Structure formats: C-alpha cells, structure tokens
Amino acid sequence: MVSNKSLDTFPRDGYIVMDMGDMEIWDGADLALIREMFTRLVDGAKHQRVGIDMSSVKYIPSGFFGLLYDWYERGIGIRLYDAQAHVRDMMWFRQFFVDDGRGCYELTAVTCRDNAVEQEDECDTLQEVDILDLSDSNDQLEVAGLHS
C-alpha cells in the first residue's frame, strides 16, 4: 500500500538525502515509509546514491540495517549523516559503516567488526585492501597485516 506521507529530500555531496526531521524514535510504520522513499528515489527517480540525515534519530528498529543492505546489494551507494553516538555504537553500525571524518558514514562491504574509535584507522586500511590472490598467500597476508 502506498502512503501519502513523504519525507523531504535535499542534495549533499552527490547524494540525495532523506530528511528525517524530528523523528527521534522510529517504529515499523516509519521504516515502511523509508523503504517506500528508497523505492521512489531509486526505482522512480533513478538515484544511485542515497543518504539519510540521522541527526535527531535516537532509536532505530532492527530491520533498518537489513533495508539499507538490501539496497546496497543492488548497487546503491548508502550514507548516513550526523548519526548520534548511541546509534554509532550499535553493532551493525560499527561493523559496516566507515566514518569519513566529517559526520558522514558510508556503508561498505568490508566488515569492520566491533570497530571501536581506536580501531578506525585499521578499518579504513582494510577497506583499501583488495581481495587477496592466495597463490602467494604468505607474502600478501603480510602486506595486508593478516599474517600470524
């Protein structure tokens, strides 16, 4: 069912960003609205890079990350902007989002497991390492910092 409700959007850094307004706590209906907006932006307006302004968000339903990852797997660039500390501390956030140092967090396929503040540089380095050719596994594992 298509809702008449909509979210405002604005451009930022080459992304079209959904403005969540003052929605601090999301429920299932809000998640459905976000899913519907993704469909409008990607399938309808053909945007390939979508962001969400998270500046006022305090609680996110568990299905939110799955929603983002589904779009990411379709080739859509995903960014979250200005996420509050307790959102950034969520496990899925620490595992799959990389901070650009300006309040922008980009979804990446590289897993930054339990990426704590002191591990951010390590995660950024992992993001730059390509898939290893295992024919020279010891040399390449040392280069990647993965050799034991």
67 domain residue, yes or no:
yes
Do 84 and 136 lie in one domain? The reply is: no
Region class of 19: left (phi > 0), else alpha (psi between -120 and 50), else beta: beta
d(CA 68, CA 94): 14
Do 141 and 83 lie in one domain? The reply is: no
3 domain residue, yes or no:
no
Q: How far is CA 139 from CA 67, 131, 132, 144, in A?
A: 38, 14, 10, 9
Domain count, the chain: 2
Do 126 and 94 lie in one domain? The reply is: no
**What's the pLDDT at 113?**
53
Predicted confidence (pLDDT) per residue in 20-72, tens digit:
988 899 998 999 999 999 999 999 999 999 999 999 999 898 899 999 999 99
**pLDDT class for 6, splitting at 50, 70, 90?**
confident
DSSP 3-state of 62: coil
Do 122 and 88 lie in one domain? The reply is: no
61 domain residue, yes or no:
yes
Do 126 and 59 lie in one domain? The reply is: no
2 domain residue, yes or no:
no
Do 128 and 61 lie in one domain? The reply is: no
Residue bearing the bigger pLDDT, 96 or 142: 96
- The CATH number given to whatever domain includes residue 25 is 3.30.750.24
For residue 148, the enclosing domain spans 118-148
What value does the mean pLDDT of the chain take? 79
Output the six-digit token pair for 101: 């140092």
d(CA 112, CA 132): 17
Predicted confidence (pLDDT) per residue in 108-138, tens digit:
987 665 554 444 444 544 343 333 333 343 4
Do 89 and 145 lie in one domain? The reply is: no
**What's the pLDDT at 57?**
93
DSSP 3-state of 29: helix
**What's the pLDDT at 38?**
96
Do 87 and 18 lie in one domain? The reply is: yes
Do 110 and 43 lie in one domain? The reply is: yes
